[in-house]
Amino acid sequence: MADQKNENPNRGSVNVESAKGRNKLPNFLLSVRLKYVKLGYHYVISNAMYLMLIPLFGIASTHLTTLSIKDFLQLWENLKFNLVSVTVCSSLMVFLATLYFMTRPRGVYLVDFACYKPHVDCTCTRETFVEKSGLTGSFSEENLSFQKKILERSGLGQKTYLPPAVLSLPPNPCMAEARKEAEEVMFGAIDQLLAKTGVKAKDIGILVVNCSLFNPTPSLSAMIVNHYKLRGNVLSYNLGGMGCSAGLISIDLAKQLLQVHPNSYALVVSMENITLNWYFGNNRSMLVSNCLFRMGGAAILLSNRSGDRRRAKYQLVHTVRTHKGAEDKSYGCVFQEEDETKRVGVALSKDLMAVAGEALKTNITTLGPLVLPMSEQLLFFGTLVARKVLKMKIKPYIPDFKLAFEHFCIHAGGRAVLDELEKNLELSEWHMEPSRMTLHRFGNTSSSSLWYELAYTEGKGRIKKGDRTWQIAFGSGFKCNSAVWRALRTINPAKEKNPWMDEIHHFPVHVPKVAPIAS
């Protein structure tokens, strides 16, 4: 592990002086690479083959409606003695129909989802956090002060949650407590989801669970199979070590499985485990995650059954995944390792914001051709060609993603990234509100934060039929992933049961803007 540290000099302590130039994302919309634009259009072409057949069927159907019974009889008289023509026409019709139904992707519907809200005994105020951290005797006075400053600038409020094993004195980070936390979060969210949807556990054919840092044996997915007595042929997957963007990776995996397994339900569970991953050392790059990550999780039910479309909330339109792990700087910017005292923690590199910016730029550029109106695409592409190919010195055109989406759910990983995304994408405070309020109320709940944000949007009564929602998350590796959903019905907040509903009238709250001291 020492060799790894020497090979990655960018990982290390975080200090105030060097952080000033690193807490901003690069303006990724001003330096776009053509290859990512081409990749986006490749997705459009590869996924639109079946759409090309729709006009043919439309033209044929329109023409057939103009024919009378006499025309059909005359056509039959002309063809009944011409076996070759009849065979060719019939074969062509069968081929086109088969091609259409074989290439048409199955619709993937989000029936409902549920977010876990921990018990009030798990509440951790900023004062409680500092007090408990001091009483452990693990941190120096300088690093206690450092954590206090991080908390004050983090955007986290006074009602976030930590597991009992971390809040107890002395802390009790053991396997039994970690399993207990995992069970409370997973089973709590799944119980709510099954109650909301009325779906029986035996009906679930696909199970995908993601948790980055806690991967026991038997796996978390096996814990769910055992607890709910899922059927023996359930397709079970357990994703580990994939960071905060793993929730959308799970959605994408479930989507791919639903394309080949008809009439199926897929259960996706996204969470992170705090108990065994609390850092008790004094490496500042590892202390930041203590200040940001909090307890939480979500369960999502997907279906490809056509009958579920009527009651489902959303249809999955697109998923776009970007992985920058081939680059050493990206691979090492979020790294779990031992510090100099052999305590395990997750180190954050000084290059984290720059790496995140590159991953975001790639993902957004690839997604653009799939979602932006044609007018925006023409202006963007024309300007890009003029600058990159013709070498013209003109101002780059920044697409307006607000024309493509009504709602934005940006991973609540930290205040600095939310600030920079708001500026780079030219979003309003209203668009950023779900992400900021989720960070304030629940903290960084890793891969599940996107679902707390969508629950907030529903709780505010903002989701109307036809609205498009963009979920975007990033995490270690380094990865950036997007999912686009279209609302199939207007969501009535009065009928919703989610962790915001008993206090939604208190939000939004004003969070004072304070310059962060670290990236």
Please identify which of the residues 291, 407, 480, 498 carries the catalytic annotation: 407
Name, in order, each residue with C-beta under 8 angstroms of 231's C-beta and a sequence gap of 6 or more.
Answer: 202, 204, 205
Residues 115, 122, 211, 244: which is the catalytic one? 244
On the CB side of 479, how many CA atoms lie within 13 Å of its CA? 19
Angle at 511 (CA atoms; ends 497, 286), nearest 5 degrees: 90
Helix (H) or strand (E) holding 409: strand 407-410
**Which among 122, 124, 440, 481 is annotated as catalytic?**
440
Whole-angstrom distance, CA of residue 207 vs CA of residue 404: 31
323 catalytic? Reply is yes
CA 306 vs. chain centroid, Å, equals 25
**What's the first-to-final CA gap in the chain, in angstroms?**
24
Name residue 252's amino acid: D
Three-state SS for 166-217 is: HHCCCCCCCHHHHHHHHHHHHHHHHHHHHHHHCCCHHHEEEEEEECCCCCCC
Instruction: Provide the total of helices (H) and of strands (E) in the chain, helices listed first.
Output: 19, 13
The two beta strands, 468-475 and 479-487, are antiparallel
Active site residue 363: no
Catalytic, out of 411, 431, 480, 481:
411
The one catalytic residue in 10, 282, 283, 444 is 444
Say whether 411 is catalytic: yes
Residue carrying the six token digits 């044996």: 217
In 49-154, the DSSP E strands lie at: 109-115, 123-124
Catalytic residue from among 27, 143, 227, 323: 323
Is 431 a known active-site residue? no
CA 347/CA 146 separation, integer angstroms: 16
- Name the 3-class secondary structure at 397: coil
* Cβ neighbours of residue 55 closer than 8 Å, sequence gap 6 or more: none
CB 155 within 8 A of CB 436: yes
Please tell me the distance from the alpha carbon of residue 379 to that of residue 252, in angstroms, as a whole number. 30
Residue 478 to residues 245, 246, 321, 333, 473, Cα–Cα distance (Å): 9, 11, 11, 8, 11
The catalytic residues are 244, 323, 407, 411, 440, 444
